[in-house]
Amino acid sequence: MFKGFRQFILRGNVVDMAVGVVIGAAFGAIVTAFVKDLLTPLVAAIAGKPDFSAYVFEVHGSKFLYGDFLNAVISFLLIAAAVYYFVVLPVNALMARLRKEPAAPPAKKTCPECQSEIPAAARKCAFCTSAVA
pLDDT, tens only, 28-74: 888 778 877 887 788 778 877 767 778 889 999 999 988 888 888 88
CB-based contact 35:78 (threshold 8 Å): yes
pLDDT digit string, tens, across residues 49-62: 767 778 889 999 99
Distances (CA, A) of 45 to 32, 36, 49: 19, 13, 7
pLDDT digit string, tens, across residues 79-119: 888 888 888 899 889 888 888 777 777 889 999 889 889 89
Long-range contacts: 82-87, Cβ < 8 Å, 24+? 82/31, 82/34, 82/35, 82/39, 83/31, 86/34
The pLDDT of residue 97: 87
- At the topology level, CATH places domain 2-98 in 1.10.1200
The pLDDT of residue 50: 67
CB-based contact 125:112 (threshold 8 Å): no
Domain ranges of the chain: 2-98, 105-133
